Amino acid sequence: MTPFLFQTTPNLLFEAGAVAKIPDLVAGLGAKNVLLVTDRGVRAAGLTRG
């Protein structure tokens, strides 16, 4: 196995409509692109709709 370091942000945002805040959160990090990983259950619940 190739050694690697995986780091994630310590901030998690849980609230109704949080997906609408993604553009501002990403801009605040200086990022221009994101990778949103989800599954059928999350999509079926409508949590990825902005």
CA pair distance 44, 41, nearest whole angstrom: 5
User: Hunting for tokens 């942000």 — which residue is that?
Assistant: 9
pTM: 0.51
Give Cα separations from 10 to 13, 49, 50 (angstroms): 10, 23, 23
Domain residue ranges of the chain, discontinuous segments joined by +: 17-50
Q: How confident is residue 2, by pLDDT bands cut at 50, 70 and 90? A: very high
Residue-wise pLDDT for 6-45, tens only, equals: 888 777 888 888 888 888 988 988 888 888 788 899 889 8
**Sign of torsion over alpha carbons 45, 8, 15, 49:** negative
